[in-house]
Chains A and B, each alone.
Chain A
Amino acid sequence: MADKKKLSLIAFSGEFDKLTAVFTLATGAAAVGYEVNIFFTFWGLNAIKQKRGRAFIGGNFITKMFGFGMGGLRKAPTSRFNFCGIGPRIFRRLMRKNNVATLEELVEAATALGVNLYACEMAMHILGLKQSDFIHEVKDTLGVATFLEISEGGQTMFI
């Protein structure tokens, strides 16, 4: 196991297109035999919420409003051509039409391939999120030190 190739991704962004990049790299690498770790922080945490639509998730009034505003995976905006939320719908349609896996299919493939999903403890604290707010495939809640230990010896990318 010592010489197994490894890819660790820091998923900071919550946009549809950037999350598509995260999960494309993750599933592709896992499928060709890499050990893959994704560390979700800040806006990236929206991708692993159990509730994929809009929901008042959070610890107090402010974080609940934030939680509603950000929404889950299904509400991720595109970084360009978002058009008040119509953009992601257009992209999803284009992806299906061209037989390219949609973001939801990629997330499903990532969990099926055993990609390790981790949540950032600090960002969760700020946004009032608990591990139980996330999909059960999220393995653990981590800090920087543990992430560095996990990613050591492999490639790391920040998206």
Chain B
Amino acid sequence: MATHTLDITKEHCPMTFVRTKLKLSQIADGDILEVLLTEGEPLNNVPRTAIEQGYKVLSVTHVEGNVHKVTIQK
């Protein structure tokens, strides 16, 4: 089980979701993906849509400033 990271703090809609979705499709079942994202649309919707698509959101933690880390298991 590998851990992958993805930084979408510099991205804007819709690429925040696009990069997350594409990364999730590339990693193996059971792998962990840590997504660094900013408050607002990405923080509100990336964890929600991950759950909707059947992934497990393990944690959402504050990193610094407006940056948060969402840990998703495929």
Contact = CB atoms under 8 A, between A and B. Distances in A.
Contacts of B21: 30-32, 113
B13 interface: yes
A116 interface: no
Interface in A85-121: 98-101, 105-106, 109, 112-113
Contacts, number: 49
A128 interface: no
B18 interface: yes
B49 A28 contact: no
A27 B45 CA distance: 15
27 contacts: A27-B15, A27-B18, A28-B13, A30-B18, A30-B21, A31-B14, A31-B21, A31-B22, A31-B49, A32-B49, A32-B53, A33-B49, A33-B53, A99-B11, A99-B12, A100-B12, A100-B15, A101-B12, A101-B14, A101-B18, A105-B15, A106-B14, A109-B14, A109-B15, A109-B22, A113-B18, A113-B21
A24 interface: yes
Given A99-B11, A99-B12, A33 B18 contact: no
B18 A109 contact: yes
Interface of A: 24-25, 27-28, 30-33, 98-101, 105-106, 109, 112-113
Contact of A24 (B13, B20, B52, B53): B13
A24 B14 CA distance: 6
Contact of A32 (B15, B22, B52): B52
Nearest to A29: B14
Contacts of A32: 17, 21, 45, 49, 52-53
B38 to A, nearest CB: 12
